[in-house]
Structure 1
Amino acid sequence: MKSKTIVFTGGGTGGHVYPGLPIIKLLQDKGFRVCWIGSRNGIEKRIIGEWGLEYYPISTGKLRRYFSVQNFTDLFRIFIGFIQSLRLIIKLHPLLVFSKGGFVSVPPVCAAFFLRVPSYTHDSDVIPGLATKINHRMTRNTFLAYDESRKHLGDPKNKIVISGNPVRTEFFENNIPLSEYWEKRLEGHPLLLVLGGSSGAKQINQLIRESLEELCSRYVVVHQMGDDLFNTEIHHKNYYPLPYLREELPALLKKADLAVSRGGAGTLWELAVTETPGILIPLRAGSRGDQILNAEIVSQRGMALVLKDREPTATGLTDLVISLWSNETERKKMAENCRNFVNKRAEDVIVSYLLKEF
């Protein structure tokens, strides 16, 4: 074997990056060197830095489905990114390129196709993103989380594989110890965990702020607000706001009696793996609707409830939290549905296909 290098690419949101880690760990355990091609200033640069991987930035441009003057300047940036990707792939000489989606992934996948390097892609959402739809035409296999997603991609060569979404190994562990810090603060109280995704969620943050009096009289509320939205001015008994949860998240999710979150695909699969009953408030404004459909899928399977109001209120959220908490039978059924939903590890499925190259 001339090379043991595999190039990953993708970014834009944490959901385009975090599911790559379980795949990367499996490949590293098998002796492969993994590098990442991403944008110069995207969230992926920070995350990959924390993982200790080699990171190579390229010029990027956003892929828009609507008219914008920026489309013309971004086409130039995308072309520059393609040239940079060509040089990087020639330099790194990878066995394959694996994309986790996002606009930054298109130039590296195009460069791999041009250089006849095998490429693969994975999409976490019910409706694959535009980048995945473009990359799909050039891949050996395209991995999807849901069978319902298949209809959104033409598949003349039967190269779609329904793998599910990769989730970090820590979330699968049965007995994840809480830190002494959290043990002292919970002290036997029910835990309501609020997750706004890697960037936070203004709407959820506002709803929680308006509900604190009622919620904190019943639960310990641990609230991930997002790095950019973190507010240190809010103080309330039994309320613990944090900019972001990293190492603590698997243990807190396992411990949580209920979770409130957006409809991001990665978070929904983490809720499923940890069998945590959830209340979902999917992003609507400024979205292509992927979170709404993600939430509908898990709701139809009885794994979570969705706050469907287009303009949700603090009262509506509080009433739904209290109602679900009071119905132990329903919560147990939701946990069981989560357990039945996750019947395989996506990273094992994906890596089994990648190893066919060797």
Structure 2
Amino acid sequence: MPKRLLIAASGTGGHIFPAIALAQKLPDYKIGWLGVPNRAEKNLVPPQYYIHEIEAEGFQKPFGLGTLRTSLGLLCSIYKAWQVLIDGPFEGLFTTGGYIAAPAIIAARLLGLPVILHESNAIPGKVTRLLAPFCTAVILGFEDAAKYLPLAKTLTVGTPVRGSFFDKKKLDLPIPEDVPLVVVVGGSQGAVAVNQLVRQCANTLFEAGIWIVHLTGENDPDVGSLQHPQYIQMPFYNEMPALLQRANLAISRAGASALTELAITKTPSILIPYPYAAENHQAYNAAAFVQAGAAVAFLQEELTPEILSSKVLDLLNSPELLKQMTGSAIHLARQDSTERLNIIVRYVMDGKKIPKINN
């Protein structure tokens, strides 16, 4: 009989894509998915993984009546997650953190099931810091995150990426092979502020012969406002490995999953951390890449179209600097993250002691 594993990953590509990468390494497992209604998992999770939906939200507001409502909601979510685990019947839980992780972890531990938690950010989220000590294993994307989790059993393996990122692919878009290409990525939900900045400086870049592929997300109010032969815009693009492999430069948010994909594809980047990310974790993620020499970063509030266009032109006119950034990105990429996580999950699910894995 195949092992039965419930994966709890919801909300953004940063939570969902690493979980998909793991699931692809477990073809001999029976996998279910725990998600939240009307979130990104509905479109991102492959159809072979049935999605069990529960309501889940975080404690974001000051203490008050809303806190009581959220607390009651958490109890209901724990009960529903508990039911999903029993009905599976699932033998263990894997989660990538976020709101969905709290009820899932608590329900699994109440049932005595093993729990593997993967935290991809340099600064662990609130749920991770609170519940990591109760997990069977806590797997980290950044080694520095361990200092925030002194009571947890942690291992650093990096952040998993889907297998397709390791295959060399040709880009299926009408872009000449000999032109500089800038790819703009705001994360799985898009980034309206970044979209506006890019459109405002686009004409300067077009005049320099630069092509732009702009992934706007689904919630861009200005979609269609810019038209140009050197400009391709889409809400999202399924063949991200080929796109990033072709790109000379990326303009991106600094979610851990996006940064891992940039590192694996050796893509130099200008990072604009999302300013409202929990614990400001994207700024810390970006700082790790800047320190390594793989990226430059700007706070959103300090960026203007003039600054952004100037930096893009400076980088694209500095092939030696781009080459150095590419080399730095290679050193940040953990090529075997998914496989190492796969090994850990299998050991935990089999009730075995996790083998020593060098960081």
Opposite residue 79 of structure 1, the aligned amino acid is L
Q: Given the alignment, which residue of 273, 298, 304 partners 1:307?
A: 298
Deviation at 1:286, TM superposition (A): 6.0
Opposite residue 221 of structure 1, the aligned amino acid is I
Q: Given the alignment, which residue of 28, 32, 35 partners 2:29?
A: 32
Cα distance in 2 for residues equivalent to 1:14 and 1:311: 26
SS class of match (1:289): helix
Deviation at 1:327, TM superposition (A): 1.1
- Does residue 171 (structure 1) correspond to residue 165 (structure 2)? The answer is yes
SS class of match (1:8): strand
Partner of 2:281: 290
Give aligned-pair identity as a percent.
28
Cα distance in 2 for residues equivalent to 1:43 and 1:56: 14
Q: Is the 8 A contact 1:11 1:39 kept in 2?
A: yes
Partner of 1:245: 237
Q: Is the 8 A contact 1:106 1:131 kept in 2?
A: yes
Question: How big is the alpha-carbon RMSD for the aligned residues of Structure 1 and Structure 2?
Answer: 1.6
Partner of 1:261: 252
For structure 1, which runs of at least 5 residues remain unmatched after alignment? Answer: none
Deviation at 1:251, TM superposition (A): 0.4
Q: Is the 8 A contact 1:63 1:103 kept in 2?
A: no
Cα–Cα, structure 1 residues 309 and 36, in superposed 2: closer, same or farther, change >3 Å?
Answer: closer
For structure 2, which runs of at least 5 residues remain unmatched after alignment? Answer: 351-359
Deviation at 1:308, TM superposition (A): 4.0
Q: Is the 8 A contact 1:210 1:314 kept in 2?
A: yes
Cα distance in 1 for residues equivalent to 2:330 and 2:143: 18
The number of equivalent residue pairs is 347
Cα distance in 1 for residues equivalent to 2:232 and 2:74: 42
Partner of 1:233: 225
SS class of match (1:228): coil
Q: Is the 8 A contact 2:184 2:250 kept in 1?
A: yes
Cα distance in 2 for residues equivalent to 1:200 and 1:235: 19
Partner of 2:11: 12
Alignment of 1:141-156 (within 5 A): 141-155=137-151
Deviation at 1:70, TM superposition (A): 2.2
Partner of 1:354: 345
Cα distance in 2 for residues equivalent to 1:251 and 1:12: 25
**TM value normalised by structure 2:** 0.92
Alignment of 1:34-53 (within 5 A): 34-48=31-45, 50-53=46-49
Deviation at 1:310, TM superposition (A): 3.1
Q: Is the 8 A contact 1:121 1:135 kept in 2?
A: no
Cα distance in 1 for residues equivalent to 2:123 and 2:4: 31
Q: Is the 8 A contact 2:3 2:30 kept in 1?
A: yes
Moved more, 250-259 or 187-196: 187-196
Moved more, 69-78 or 120-129: 69-78
Q: Given the alignment, which residue of 192, 201, 207 partners 1:211?
A: 201
Deviation at 1:343, TM superposition (A): 3.8
Deviation at 1:221, TM superposition (A): 0.4
Cα distance in 1 for residues equivalent to 2:323 and 2:18: 27
Cα distance in 1 for residues equivalent to 2:341 and 2:278: 28
Cα distance in 2 for residues equivalent to 1:62 and 1:321: 37
Deviation at 1:104, TM superposition (A): 1.3
Runs (4+) off by over 6 Å: none
Cα–Cα, structure 1 residues 297 and 68, in superposed 2: closer, same or farther, change >3 Å?
Answer: farther
Partner of 2:355: none
Q: Is the 8 A contact 1:164 1:346 kept in 2?
A: yes
Deviation at 1:155, TM superposition (A): 2.7
Cα distance in 1 for residues equivalent to 2:57 and 2:159: 26
Partner of 1:327: 318
Cα distance in 1 for residues equivalent to 2:63 and 2:11: 21
Q: Is the 8 A contact 2:9 2:19 kept in 1?
A: no
Opposite residue 14 of structure 2, the aligned amino acid is G
Opposite residue 178 of structure 1, the aligned amino acid is L
Q: Is the 8 A contact 2:26 2:342 kept in 1?
A: yes
Cα distance in 1 for residues equivalent to 2:277 and 2:249: 27
Q: Is the 8 A contact 1:216 1:237 kept in 2?
A: no
Q: Is the 8 A contact 1:19 1:166 kept in 2?
A: yes
**TM value normalised by structure 1:** 0.93
Deviation at 1:74, TM superposition (A): 1.3
Deviation at 1:126, TM superposition (A): 0.6
Write out per-residue CA displacement over residues 243-291 of structure 1, whole angstroms, 9 at most, x where no aligned residue: 1122x21101000001100111111111100001101111114653111
SS class of match (1:63): coil
Cα distance in 2 for residues equivalent to 1:278 and 1:45: 29
Cα distance in 1 for residues equivalent to 2:256 and 2:210: 26
Q: Is the 8 A contact 1:105 1:131 kept in 2?
A: yes
Deviation at 1:68, TM superposition (A): 5.0
SS class of match (2:58): coil
SS class of match (2:17): coil
- Does residue 89 (structure 1) correspond to residue 81 (structure 2)? The answer is no
